[in-house]
Amino acid sequence: MELRDINYNKSDYVETASGNKVCRQTVLCGSQNIILQGKVIVQSEAIIRGDLANVKTGRYCIISKEAVLRPPYKKFSKGVAFFPLTMGDHVYVGERSVVNAAIVGNYVYIGKNCVIGRRCTLKDCCVIEDNTVLAPETVVPPFARYGGSPGSHIGDLPECQADLMVDFTRSYYQHFQPTKLI
């Protein structure tokens, strides 16, 4: 199933040498602490808080509109410490989702409008359905499908999920083209 071409305004996006396509209307705080590995798409109005802690994404990640990547914090007796947020390769974060996870594995699909609770761990090849609210410190096992509010295990995924995500993110990146003026 071939994805449709998604066109964007060429002046709105900055394309880096490693193929990252970042919209100008994003709020990237602390950009020196944000590492986008390569071929990452960050769509408009997304927020990545690198000023709180390091944020590292893998290759072929897609951060949709208005998503928020926020490093999690842990309350100690002496105050609050922010932990780095690491994302693997081929991760799709849906629109308006709030990701407070500590570790997101590879090949993860996070749906629209989700709330990933504080310090969650999403292992490889999991799917978080749209509108899920994951409680803090949940560990989502590989090949699990989580949904609902509170998020719970609602299904399993086939072993080919990794290949499906690779296909999906690669073709999304290929079809994310600037509008051609004829």
Partner 1 sequence: MSRNSIKILPGALVCEESKLRGDITIGSGTIVHPSATIIAEAGPIIIGDCCLIEEQVKIIHRLPFDQQNKENTTPVLIIGSNNVFEVDCTVESPKIGNNNVFESKCFVGNKVTVSNGCTIGAGCRVDG
Binding mask 88-107 for partner 1 (x = CB under 8 A): --------x-x-x-------
174's tokens: 């290929």
CA 35 – CA 156 distance, rounded (Å): 31
- When the beta carbons of 53 and 165 are compared against partner 1, the nearer one is 53
Q: How many residues bind partner 1 (CB under 8 A)?
A: 17
From 96, 104, 86, select the one nearest 64 (Cα to Cα): 96
Q: Which of residues 40-59 bind partner 1 (CB under 8 A)?
A: 45, 47, 49
Considering only 20, 21, 60, 66, the residue that binds partner 1 (CB under 8 A) is 66
Binding mask 148-177 for partner 1 (x = CB under 8 A): -x----------------------------
DSSP letter for each residue of 40-68: -EE-TT-EEETTTS-EEEEET-EE-TT-E
**Closest distance to partner 1 from the beta carbon of 90 (Å):** 25
CA 20 – CA 146 distance, rounded (Å): 29
CB-CB contact of 93 with 70 (8 Å) = no
18's tokens: 């490693």
Considering only 42, 53, 61, 115, the residue that binds partner 1 (CB under 8 A) is 115
Binding mask 13-42 for partner 1 (x = CB under 8 A): --------------x-x-------------
